[in-house]
Structure 1
Amino acid sequence: MTKALTVNGMSVRFYEFLALDDVSIAVDQGESFGLVGESGSGKSTLLRAIAGLNGFEAGSLTVDGKSYEARHRDKPFYRTVQMVFQDPYGSLHPRQTVDRLLLEPLVVHGFTDVDTRIARALDEVGLGSGFRFRFSHQLSGGQRQRIAIARALIVEPKILLLDEPTSALDASIQAEILNLLEQARKDRGLTFLMVSHDLAVISHMCDRLAVMRSGKVVETLGVEALRRREVQADYTRDLMLASEGFRRRG
């Protein structure tokens, strides 16, 4: 299977704090891969290092067959990889209309049929053209996250980095956003790398997962093995017990 993304021996340090310690993962093309662990385990730091939002002092990163240095990301990288952040309130500029938010990445990457693409993007995330000229403060949290997803998808990436994409939303909206993401993955053949603290979300969305603790990967396993409780690490068992949603599914 061709790899969409490979991290090998990656370490990230913030001053004296070792946030990632020799982390390695490999994600196949078209796969949905989860990162789970408690707060401070390093899962979001890994996502940000892949995106170039923070550097790494050791290890290597290969995306779609191309190697990348600690911080440098070229324009083709951002055609291939897009990120959806946890907080839809913080990730959208409050003084820009939805039209402007969606237009900007199209201009940056040289697309010309912008009206068609914006209309199609809004339709894909379940919002009509009536939302095009609204400001983000006029939208609900779920609508803002739909716009954030539309902005990520509009440049036709191959890989989406998803950092807790539903945790800031009401429970009633979370399932809608997860279903929207899963449909987009199927329709577009996307690869997902998804951070969540919720094993129920990961077991629903992902094929495999890495369990992280204190900046290290303690276990990598398939979701089917997780559902059967066939885990090796005591920490993974502890996470399963602590995840009320996962226990309800079991």
Structure 2
Amino acid sequence: MSAALHVDNLNVVYDDFHALKDVSISVERGESFGLVGESGSGKSTLLRAVAGLAPISGGAIRIDGEELKGSKRSKAFYRRVQMVFQDPYGSLHPRQTIDRLLLEPLAIHAVTDSDKRIARALDEVGLGNGFRFRYPHQLSGGQRQRVAIARALIVQPSILLLDEPTSALDASVQAEVLNLLEQIRRDRKLTFVMVSHDLGVITHMCERLAVMRSGAVVERLSSEELARGTVQEDYTRNLMIASKGFVKA
């Protein structure tokens, strides 16, 4: 059985800057896989490359065994793979109602029964129909991210790419959104690929992870190994120290 997502020796180059250097990861169906590393390590670039938002200069990406060609993605791809971005303030159009924001992906994919789907999506993320005709500026940060999650889920993908989905939120609502994501993953049997600088979040949400530095994977380990401190690289140990509350310095 092929992996849900397989990345093989992927390279991304911007002008003369090598953002990803021969990166390889494999994520099984239904698994939650984490990417950690310091800022600029390439973890978000990897998600963007999978989503078709970064130029690929070498290597291969396969979804359910099917190789993706270049950076162009088909409509069928976006029915299977959706991305939730870090900043809910920037990812939602400020002049569109929540109803319009959720209707757009349904219209793009020619999905019918939009009213039922929108109501169900809002319900699933804990907002309800009362939020349907509000604008993003009328919602809190946590509510906006719930809308962003609903928008990603509404076309019923099998893989979610999560780029620091709670880092822009207040600490008081981060746990709520993470618990929501974990519940949705279990209910829908989704595959997650999650980027976070917070090792505590990755340990809680993911079974396995890759540690990235300067555009390359420097270590692969399970979340249990990370929690026990059973790591091989000094760089990973330093990340553990730097991750507030994860270990004592």
Partner of 1:6: 6
State the match for 1:166 in structure 2.
166
Residue 98 (str. 1) matches residue 102 (str. 2): no
| Matching residue of 2:134 | 134
Alpha carbon RMSD of aligned pairs, Å? 1.1
**Partner residue, 1:183:** 183
Contact kept, 8 Å, 2:2 with 2:65, in 1: the verdict is no
Q: Give 1:78's aligned residue.
A: 78
The 8 Å contact of residues 199 and 245 in structure 1, kept in 2 or not, is answered as no
Q: What is the rounded CA distance, in whole Å, between the counterparts of 1:121 and 1:88 in structure 2?
A: 17
Encode CA deviations 1:157-198: one digit per residue, 9 max, x unaligned: 000000000000000010000000000000000000000000
CA displacement, residues 127-164 of structure 1 (integer Å, 9 cap, x when unaligned): 01110000111111111000000000000000000000
**CA–CA distance in 1 between the matches of 2:9 and 2:145?**
33
Instruction: Confirm whether residue 33 of structure 1 aligns to residue 33 of structure 2.
Output: yes
Letter in 2 for 1:99: D
1:61-115 residue CA offsets vs partner (Å, 9 max, x unmatched): 0012211122111111000000000000000001100000001111111211111
> Which residue number in structure 2 is paired with residue 125 of structure 1?
125
- Describe the SS at the equivalent of 2:127: coil
User: Unmatched 5+ residue regions in structure 1?
Assistant: none
| Contact 1:198/1:245 (<8 A) preserved | no
CA–CA distance in structure 2, aligned partners of residues 242 and 127 of structure 1? 35
Would you say the 8 A contact 2:12–2:56 is kept in 1? Answer: yes
1:233: how far off?
A: 1.0
Measure the CA separation in 1 of the matches of 2:2 and 2:15.
36
Partner of 1:222 in structure 2? 222
Distance in 1, Cα, partners of 2:45 & 2:105: 24
SS of the residue corresponding to residue 111 of structure 1 reads coil
Pairing 1:13-52 to 2, within 5 Å after superposition: 13-52=13-52
Aligned residues: 249
Alignment of 1:50-61 (within 5 A): 50-61=50-61
Letter in 2 for 1:235: Y
User: Aligned residue for 2:193?
Assistant: 193
Q: Is the 8 Å Cα contact of residues 10 and 59 (structure 1) preserved in structure 2?
A: yes
Distance 2:116 2:167 in 1: 31
- Provide TM-score, normalisation by structure 2: 0.98
Following TM superposition, by how much is the alpha carbon of 1:245 offset from its aligned partner in structure 2, in angstroms?
Answer: 2.5
Q: Which runs of 5+ in 2 are unaligned?
A: none
Distance 1:104 1:119 in 2: 14
In structure 1, distance between residues paired with 2:188 and 2:33: 16
Distance, in Å, in 2 between the alignment partners of 1:99 and 1:179 is 24
* Aligned residue number for residue 210 of structure 1: 210
